[in-house]
Amino acid sequence: MANIAIQPVQIWSNGQTIECNNLEAYSIYDNLTSESKFYYQIQKDTQSLISGNISIVGNDYDLWMKNNFATEWALTYICNQLNLTPIIPTKTKK
Q: Which of 40, 44, 7 is nearest to 24 (CA)?
A: 40
26 found inside a domain:
yes
* More confident site: 93 or 47: 47
Q: Is residue 67 part of a domain?
A: yes
Is 94 a domain residue? no
Is residue 58 a part of any domain in this protein? yes
Residue span of the structural domain in which 58 resides: 2-81
Residue 26 clears pLDDT 90, i.e. is over it: yes
Question: What domain count does the chain have?
Answer: 1
Q: pTM of this prediction? A: 0.88
Question: Is 28 within the bounds of a domain?
Answer: yes
- 66-75: list long-range contacts, CB under 8 Å, 24+ apart: 71/2, 72/4, 74/2, 74/25, 74/27, 74/36, 74/38, 75/2, 75/3, 75/4, 75/23, 75/25
What pLDDT digit, counting tens, does each position of 59-78 carry?
Answer: 999 999 998 889 999 999 99
* Position 88 in a domain: no
Return the bridge partners of 4, or none.
23
93 part of a folded domain: no
Q: Is residue 76 part of a domain?
A: yes
